[in-house]
Amino acid sequence: MNTNPSPYGFGSTFRFLALASLTGVLMVVGCGPASPPKGHSGSSSAQAEHAHPSEGPHGGHLIELGDEQYHVELIHDDKAGEVTFYILDSSAKKAVPIDAVELVVNLKHGGKAEQFKIAAKPESGETAGTSSRFFSADKELAGDLDAEGADAQLVVTISGKQFRGAIEHEHGKEGDAEHKH
């Protein structure tokens, strides 16, 4: 009489070893590489490829477009009441002239929605009909970007595809006439 409950004739020892082996494999394979602990920069090539500056080439705040397909650098001069946007590549280092005559900033604050059009102002040497720089001397826009609770979004069309990026409010040092967003 066979007292082994397994239909294949294997005993509990085999089941234990099979389960232990499977557990070991799962522990080794896991769900992919663990992320480095906080404060540890890591050194993988993927992280190095993804790294880009924390500010743009002109010292301004970076706005991400798409899945970092492009970046826009925002220079906000409070004293002059001007804002300048620069279209940059995925590394946020090189200018990307686009065939747009304007960018749009949609802004909400104090229960009020506004839309501002930012005109192209091509850099010297850019091909006719393209621009990587967009400029506005609209003091209302410059002031509204600083409004408490302002929610601003940049809308840019590049090669027929529309991108949106959040304009985050970020002051520099207290008392500075010029700060970054």
Question: Could you tell me the CATH number of the domain that includes residue 164?
Answer: 2.60.40
Do 14 and 78 lie in one domain? The reply is: no
Residue 143 to residues 27, 80, 83, 105, 109, Cα–Cα distance (Å): 55, 11, 10, 13, 11
> What is the Cα–Cα distance from 176 to 13, expressed in whole angstroms?
74
Q: Do 4 and 73 reside in the same domain of the chain?
A: no
pLDDT mean for each 10 residues of the chain (181 residues): 52 48 42 40 44 82 94 94 96 96 95 95 94 97 89 96 88 41 43
Collapsing DSSP to helix, strand or coil, 102 comes out as strand
> Is residue 78 domain-shared with residue 122, that is, in the same domain?
yes
The range of the structural domain enclosing residue 4 comes to 1-32
Quick one: 152 and 104 in the same domain? yes
Q: 144 lies in a domain?
A: yes
Calculate ∠ Cα 146-116-72, nearest 5°: 75
Decide if 45 is inside a domain.
no
In a domain, 149, yes or no: yes
pTM (predicted TM-score):
0.67
Total structural domains within the chain: 2
Q: Are residues 17 and 99 in the same domain?
A: no
